Amino acid sequence: MNRVFHIALREFKSTALTKGFIIGGIVVPLVLLLVISLVMPKLMNEKVPVVKGTVAVIDQTGVLTPAIEQRFAPEAVEAWQKRRQGQVVAEAAQAARDTQGVEGAINAGRVVQGAAEIRADLSVEMLAPLTDEKNLAIAKQPLGEGTNLEDGGRMALVVIDADAIEAAPGASKFGGFQIFTRQKLDDRVIDLVRDQVREAIRATRIEAAGMNTERLEALMNVSQSDTQEIGPGGVERKSLGEWNIIFQFAFMLLMMMSVFISGQYLLTTTIEEKSSRVVELLLASTSSMSLMAGKIFGQMCVGLFLVLVYGSLGFAGMFLMERAGLVSPMMIVWFFCFYFIAYTTVASLMAAIGSAVNDLREAQSLMTPVMIIVMIPYLLWLPIARDPNGVFATVSSFVPGVSPFVMMVRLSSTTQPPVWQVLAAIGIGLVSAYGCVWLAAKIFRVGLLQFGKAPNYATMWRWIRMA
């Protein structure tokens, strides 16, 4: 046992005390924390540049001028900005739900970026109705003269059809409008112009139909207060909404990242020691089982260190956003139980692969079992998060290899799984982890001293039967 401890300590030092690990595992997260907590608020409070220019409108209906001018007044533009920002949370959540993982986060980020504040100082220039295409070409000409949005020049041209308010005789549809812009115009300005012109046409159509616009809007608008959750003792608090599903993904990702990174370190160090023949000196003073156990335990400490660093950053962020109540002490206990199972399973496979091959290139061809364990939960987490106690989630909880990740998604959901399922998943996980360690030990014992031709699965199976 003393030898296992010394091997584990050596393994931890050789990984965690390197410059690359310190920079990547400690410095980078701290820099990110400082940027998020100190720099980003200042950047977001910076004065937003003003987009100044003229929107030319050719109103061929002859009745839209008052409505257009009203919609582009400063107070109307400010109201539009508030409405746009008010929709961002729902749209970002929907974008994240439509796609999974990183892609979902990117889509949500695009929605948030699109709702960023913009200060627009727009004036409206009403042009005479068109008589022919030549007049339209003349109206478009100023748009191609430059791209400076601070020069106050014409930035957009709106051409409204003659039948935009009253449909042509015999027609079932109303006319619309078309927008022409100068190059590289901010898409938020285009959205502003489009929305305000559409709103002006809509309101004028309602008035032309003999209805009261304000009364109709009041009838269509249904106000809703924030959703409240009732906690233990009847305590009310604002519903966390989409934070629940984000929390589930974050817990699974933290486990997946720490397990895979520490397992990758184990694979790399094993291959390096074998190729440099250092392993022969180690085997002269200890058994192959003690060597493998020490290496697995040492890299487990590396993974736990990563969990501590990134988990602390995540918890600090949740605390600042008043979401720390999402994490319960029992959830942390379950996390470390399933982390031990997941890491032992992956690390034993990594140790077996590292002992069997001669370089990293050969290892890639044997990584399929490990990649399956890592990728399946990543691909299936969203259906499991939406129905954590459904048949699919329940069955997946008992599949060896993927069960630790699936159970963390279920345990971090709003609907907790039955305790017997958690204990059963732990039992199955421990048995499967023991089986992986047992198989890996046989491969490790033979593979460490095998050089030359790259092994395949058949060769490794022969080693298992031989050992």
Residue 379 CA to residue 363 CA, distance in Å, equals: 24
* 53, 155 Cβ separation under 8 angstroms: yes
Task: Kindly tell me if the per-residue pLDDT of 146 is higher than 80.
Answer: no
Vertex 420 angle, CA 419 and 421, to 5°: 90
Asked whether residue 9 is assigned to any structural domain, the reply reads no
Q: Are both 324 and 286 inside the same structural domain?
A: yes
Task: Kindly tell me if the per-residue pLDDT of 376 is higher than 50.
Answer: yes
In this prediction, residue 341 has a pLDDT band, given cuts at 50, 70 and 90, of very high
The whole-angstrom distance between residue 209's C-alpha and the CA centroid of its chain comes to: 47
* 200, 68 Cβ separation under 8 angstroms: yes
Residues 6+ apart with CB under 8 A from 81: 117, 118
pLDDT (tens digit, 9 = 90+) per residue, 395-424? 989 998 889 999 988 888 877 889 999 999
Q: Are both 201 and 277 inside the same structural domain?
A: no
pLDDT: is 452 or 42 the higher one?
A: 452
* 409, 248 Cβ separation under 8 angstroms: yes
Q: Are both 345 and 274 inside the same structural domain?
A: yes
DSSP states along 16-28: HTSHHHHIIIIIH
Domain count, the chain: 2
pLDDT (tens digit, 9 = 90+) per residue, 44-55? 555 556 778 889
Asked whether residue 208 is assigned to any structural domain, the reply reads yes
Asked whether residue 39 is assigned to any structural domain, the reply reads no
Task: Kindly tell me if the per-residue pLDDT of 90 is higher than 70.
Answer: no
Task: Kindly tell me if the per-residue pLDDT of 31 is higher than 70.
Answer: yes
Domain that residue 274 falls in: 241-466
Range with the lowest mean pLDDT among 129-133, 307-311, 442-446?
129-133
Asked whether residue 43 is assigned to any structural domain, the reply reads no
Using the structure block, give the residue that is written with the tokens 């051409």.
Answer: 159
Using the structure block, give the residue that is written with the tokens 């190059």.
Answer: 183
Rounded to the nearest integer, the mean pLDDT of the chain is: 80
pLDDT of residue 109: 47
Q: Which of 42-56, 81-95, 414-428, 447-461 has the highest mean pLDDT?
A: 414-428
Which amino acid type is present at position 37?
S
CA nearest to 255, candidates 318, 304, 325, 314: 304
Q: Are both 328 and 420 inside the same structural domain?
A: yes
Task: Kindly tell me if the per-residue pLDDT of 34 is higher than 80.
Answer: no
Asked whether residue 301 is assigned to any structural domain, the reply reads yes
**What mean pLDDT do residues 235-255 have?**
71
Q: Are both 170 and 82 inside the same structural domain?
A: yes
CA nearest to 349, candidates 427, 396, 292, 304: 292
Q: Are both 297 and 245 inside the same structural domain?
A: yes
Q: Are both 281 and 197 inside the same structural domain?
A: no
pLDDT (tens digit, 9 = 90+) per residue, 267-292? 888 888 888 888 778 777 888 888 88
pLDDT of residue 344: 93
Q: Are both 327 and 406 inside the same structural domain?
A: yes
Q: Are both 144 and 277 inside the same structural domain?
A: no
Q: Are both 189 and 254 inside the same structural domain?
A: no
pLDDT of residue 168: 83
pLDDT of residue 24: 75
pLDDT of residue 411: 87
Q: Copy the structure tokens of residue 282.
A: 């180690």
What's this model's pTM, rounded to 2 decimal places?
0.64
The per-residue b/e assignment along 219-239, b for 16 or more CB within 10 angstroms, e otherwise, is: eeeeeeeeeeeeeeeeeeeee
Q: Copy the structure tokens of residue 353.
A: 């692969």
The per-residue b/e assignment along 250-279, b for 16 or more CB within 10 angstroms, e otherwise, is: bbbbbbbebbbbbbbbbbbbbbebbeeeeb
Q: Are both 74 and 187 inside the same structural domain?
A: yes
Task: Kindly tell me if the per-residue pLDDT of 89 is higher than 70.
Answer: no
Last residue of a domain, one of 213, 231, 256: 213
pLDDT of residue 201: 92
pLDDT of residue 322: 63
Range with the lowest mean pLDDT among 12-16, 80-84, 318-322, 414-418?
318-322
Asked whether residue 42 is assigned to any structural domain, the reply reads no
Last residue of a domain, one of 197, 213, 229: 213
Asked whether residue 7 is assigned to any structural domain, the reply reads no
In this prediction, residue 465 has a pLDDT band, given cuts at 50, 70 and 90, of confident
Range with the lowest mean pLDDT among 191-205, 325-339, 399-413, 442-456?
442-456
Asked whether residue 225 is assigned to any structural domain, the reply reads no
Long-range contacts at 392-401 (CB < 8 A, ≥ 24 apart): 394/421, 397/421, 397/424, 397/425, 398/424, 398/425, 398/428, 400/345, 400/428, 400/429, 400/431, 400/432, 400/435, 401/345, 401/372, 401/373, 401/432
Q: Are both 166 and 283 inside the same structural domain?
A: no
pLDDT (tens digit, 9 = 90+) per residue, 168-204? 888 888 999 999 998 888 888 888 899 999 999 998 9
